[in-house]
Structure 1
Amino acid sequence: MDDLPIRFGLTMWSHNHWQQSFYGKSTQANQRLEKYARVFHTVEGNTTFYATPNPTTVRNWYNATHDQFRFTFKLPQSITHQQMLRGCQAELKSFMLVMQPLHERIGQWTIQLPAAFGPQHLAQLQQFCTLFPPDYPLGIEVRHPAFFAKGDAEKALNQWLIERGYDRIIMDSRPVFAAKPDNEAIIDAQMKKPKVPVHAIATAQQPMVRFIGHPQEQFNYEFFSPWLRKLPQWITEGKQPYVMIHTADNIVAPELATGLYQQLQKSVTLPDLAPFPAQSGQRQISMF
C-alpha cells in the first residue's frame, strides 16, 4: 500500500464539458488523462466495461499517468454480464494480456455483476476468482437484492470476501434517487443505477465507495455526512479507501469531488488536492 491515506477520483477522465472548468481551454483530448492525474488519485475505468482497448491506447494511458496514480478498471461486460463469468477463461486471459502494461498501476480490478447474478451464482463467482493469483486486487460489486437483505446469502458473500481479501464495492445511490426526475440526465441515471441499500462494510483493505451525487450541492453534503465518520475510521484501521464521485451527467463532478474532499479534510489529515489545471495559479473554488 502506498502512502496516500485515501484515494479520491471520478468515474471518467475525459469530458467535453470540463474543457474550460477543469483542463484549460488549450488542452487537447489526448492530454486530458495527464491533466486529470495531476489532481485526482484514481479513476474508475468504465471504458473497459464496454470494449477492450488496443495495445497502443493502453501504452498511451501508461505514459499519461505517474507511478502514484491508480486505475480501477472494470472487467468487460461480455465476461460479467453476457457470460455471467462462465466459460470465459480465454477471454479474460486475452483482456489481461492487453492491459499488462498498466498492471502496476491498478488499484483494483472491478467485477461488476448484474442484478440477475444472485446467490445461486455465488459458486460461479468463487470459481471465476480462482483464475487470478492469490491476493490479487479485486473489487466485487453485486446488485441482486438478496445480497443486501442481511440474510444467509449476504453473510455467505461477505464471509467469502473477507476470507479471500476481496473488497466489496459499495454503491451509494441515495443522493441521485432523492432528486426530482425533472431532467433527462436524472431520469436516465435513476433508470440505470441500482437502488440498493448502503452497507458500509470493509471486507478487505481498500473499500471502494461509489457516491452518485444529487444535482443540488447542499444535499450532497447531507448524504456524504456518514462518510465523514466512516472513512476516517477505516483510515485509522490502516485501510486505504477509494472514493469515486459521480453525478448524473458528470458535468460538475470535479468540483463536487473537490468540495467533498475538503469536507473530509476537516475530519482527518489529508494532503491537499492540486488545483485544477485550468485554475493553476488561482485559488480553487470550493462548492461548500
Structure 2
Amino acid sequence: MWTHAPWQKRFLPHPLPPQERLKAYATWCNAVEGNTTFYAVPARDTVETWARQTGPDFRFVLKMPKAITHDRRLGDVGAEVRSFLQAIEPLGPRAHALWIQLPAAFVPADVEVLAGFLRRLPPSYRYAVEVRHRAFFEDERSARLLERALANVGAEWIPFDTTTLFRTPPTSDMERDAWTRKPRVARRTTALTDRPIVRYLGRDSVDETVAGWRGWVGQVAEWLREGRSPTVFIHTPDNAEALPLARRFHNDVRARVPELEPLPDPTRAPAEPPTLF
C-alpha cells in the first residue's frame, strides 16, 4: 500500500526509489497491511530493505501466501510456510502478526483443519485469522468453535468491518466494485488476545466513513484501557484518503485516551526527495 498511486505527490514525495518509499509512508502511519505477500513470497533482500526503512516498533501485519491459504487450503504446506518465514525473518519484531486470510469457502466444518495448521506453526510469531463465511458471524455455535481453535494457540480473529459500506447503495464505480468483492458480514468487536487487529472499510464520503467508525473509537479506547495493544487499518473503496483518515481515527481515539502516543509527524519529512543539486 505504501506505493498507492493517489498518495504520490499529495501525501508522499514522488518520485522516490523503492528503498525510500516505505520510509516515507512510515512518517504517516506506524503499521501497514502486507497484502503483496499474498500473491508472492518476497525476496529476502527486499524484506531487508523494509526493515531498514522502519523503526523496531513499526508493525507489519503480513498476509500469508495464497498458495497456503487458498490453493492448498492449509494442507501439506510445510515447505511453503518455511519459505515464507525465512523470507520475512529480517523484520524481527516488526512482524506484528501473520495474517491468515481464509476464503469464503472456508466453513465451520473446516475449523479442525485450521486448528491443526495453527498447532504446527512455530510459536515465535503471532497469528491472526480472517474468515469470511457468514456462518461464523450469524451462528453462535460456529463462532465459538472458531474462537476455541484460535484461543488454544493464542491467535487473534481479525474482523473486517464492511457494515458502513453496505449500509446504503453504492454511489460510485469504486463503491460498486467494492460491493461485488467485499464480504457482507456482521460487525464483530470481541478481542481474543492482547493484540486485537481491526480492518474497517468506509465509503467514498469522508463524513460517512467517520460516522461509521465512531463505535470503533470507543471500542479501541476500551481495549487500550484494558492494557491491550490494538492495530486498526482504515480503508475506503479507493483508499485515496486513507492516510489522513487513519491519522484522524488515531486522533479520535487519543482524545479519549490522552496517554496514547501520537503518530509520527509527516510535516517533518522532506517534501521532495533528496537530489545532488
User: TM-score, with normalisation over the residues of structure 2?
Assistant: 0.91
RMSD: 1.9
Q: How many residues align?
A: 270
User: Where does residue 254 of structure 2 map in the other structure?
Assistant: 265
Q: What is the CA-CA distance between 1:150 and the residue it aligns to?
A: 3.6
Q: Offset at 1:57?
A: 1.1
Determine if contact 1:21/1:278 at 8 Å carries over to the other structure: no
Letter of the 1:86 counterpart: G
Q: Residue in 1 aligned with 2:116?
A: 127
Aligned to 1:181: 170
Between the aligned partners of 2:265 and 2:9, the Cα distance in structure 1 is 14
Question: Alignment partner for residue 274 of structure 1, among 259, 264, 276?
Answer: 264
Quote the Cα distance in structure 1 between the aligned partners of 2:256 and 2:157: 24
Q: Which is further off, 251-260 or 109-118?
A: 251-260
* 1:88 and 2:70 are equivalent in the alignment: no
Distance 2:16 2:167 in 1: 35
CA deviation string 1:129-154 (max 9, x = no partner): 12223363000111111111242111
After superposition, residues 1-288 of structure 1 pair within 5 angstroms as 12-25=1-14, 27-134=16-123, 136-178=125-167, 180-269=169-258, 270-277=260-267
Contact 1:43 1:72 in 2 (8 A): yes
Question: Helix, strand or coil for the counterpart of 1:130?
Answer: helix
Structure 1 residue 163, shift from structure 2 partner:
3.2
Stretches of structure 2 lacking an aligned partner (at least 5 in a row): 272-277
1-structure distance, mates of 2:15, 2:2:
16
- The CA deviation at 1:118 is 0.7
Query: Could you say if the C-alpha distance between residues 120 and 223 of structure 1 is closer, same or farther in structure 2, counting changes exceeding 3 Å?
Result: same
- Report if the CA contact (8 A) 2:162-2:182 is conserved: yes
Question: 5+ residue gaps in structure 1?
Answer: 1-11, 282-288
Which amino acid in structure 2 is aligned with residue 47 of structure 1? T
Q: CA deviation at 1:29?
A: 4.3
3-state SS in 1 of match to 2:2 = coil
Tell me which amino acid in the other structure corresponds to 2:261: P
Offset of residue 87 of structure 1: 1.1
Letter in 1 for 2:208: F
* Residues 179 and 186 in structure 1, CA contact (< 8 A), matched pair in contact too: no
CA contact (8 A) 2:28 2:243 kept: no
Q: Secondary structure at the match of 1:24?
A: coil
Residue type of the partner of 2:262?
D
Amino acid at match of 1:157: L
**Quick one: which amino acid aligns to residue 198 of structure 1?**
R
Q: CA deviation at 1:93?
A: 0.9
Distance between the aligned counterparts of 1:138 and 1:116, measured in 2? 20
Task: Work out the CA distance in 2 between the residues paired with 1:277 and 1:128.
Answer: 44
Moved over 6 A (4+): 278-281
Which residue of the partner structure matches residue 5 of structure 1? none
1:221 to partner: Cα distance: 2.0
CA contact (8 A) 2:57 2:93 kept: no
**CA displacement, residues 74-119 of structure 1 (integer Å, 9 cap, x when unaligned):** 0001110111101111111111112211232111000000110011
- 1:174 positional shift: 1.4
Q: CA deviation at 1:171?
A: 0.9
The structure with higher relative contact order (CA 8 Å, sep 6+) is 1
SS at match of 2:128: strand
CA contact (8 A) 2:164 2:212 kept: yes
Give the equivalent residue in structure 1 for 2:275. Answer: none
Which residue pairs with 2:274 in the alignment? Answer: none
Calculate the TM-score normalised by the size of structure 1.
Answer: 0.88
